[in-house]
Amino acid sequence: MSRTYLTVSEPATAEFVVQGSEFIGHVRPVDSVDAAEAFVDAVGEEYADATHNVPAYRVRVGGTNSSTNAADEDATAGNTFLREYSSDDGEPSGSAGKPALNVLAQQELENCAVVVTRYYGGTNLGIGGLVRAYSRAVKEAVEEAGIVEERPHETVSIGVEYDDSGTVRSILESEGYEFDAAYQASVSFEVRVPLAEADAFRDRLRSATSGRVDLE
């Protein structure tokens, strides 16, 4: 579970025109299938006027859940699986989604989602032209984002009263974890924690607050 993997370092886009058709490649790192699908939906809504919004993603997940739209591959001895998904979104079969996914696979990227937006320019590109264009959109978006080596993470949700919030925040800052905080009637934190450290992190929080912490 503590194995490292390659992913993109940040969200990025790349744009170009081929025979009048505009292609926009969108890419971002994601931590879950839900996050990947939310990104796909968000791009689809933002570019709802486009001719096509072609999605693809590769996400490492725990357990054995499967989907009719996904290819699950047992990839490690730690009961984790690689969820792969792509769709042609109305383009000829095999001309868009699979080439986009192939770029991610060839570069061994995981926890990464892409959407390639196309505005049709009036000239048919043919199967070969579409494969080249969709592949190029993903390659250039990935180049724009940059590639980094990451460790598997999970999001830990923390709820505490104000009296304990300073203690929790100091632990988060001392560990250097990424987190978001919300101060309302009580205080909640959403923390991104490496999987290998998550159990010890929860134990530390319980100990530091004498059990006065809600963890999810």
Closest CA to 9 of 196, 145, 212: 145
Q: How many CB atoms lie within 10 A of CB 210?
A: 8
Select from 150, 179, 201 the last residue of a domain: 150
Query: Which residues in the chain come in under a pLDDT of 70?
Result: 1-2, 62-79
Shared-domain flag, residues 125 and 185: no
Phi, psi for residue 42 in degrees, rounded to 5: -65, -45
Q: How many CB atoms lie within 10 A of CB 124?
A: 12
Give the residue numbers spanning the domain of 160.
153-215
Shared-domain flag, residues 196 and 144: no
- Tally of CA atoms within 13 A in the half-sphere of 152 that contains its CB: 16
Number of domains in the chain: 2
Shared-domain flag, residues 123 and 139: yes
Residue 153 is predicted with a pLDDT of 78
Residue 3 is predicted with a pLDDT of 75
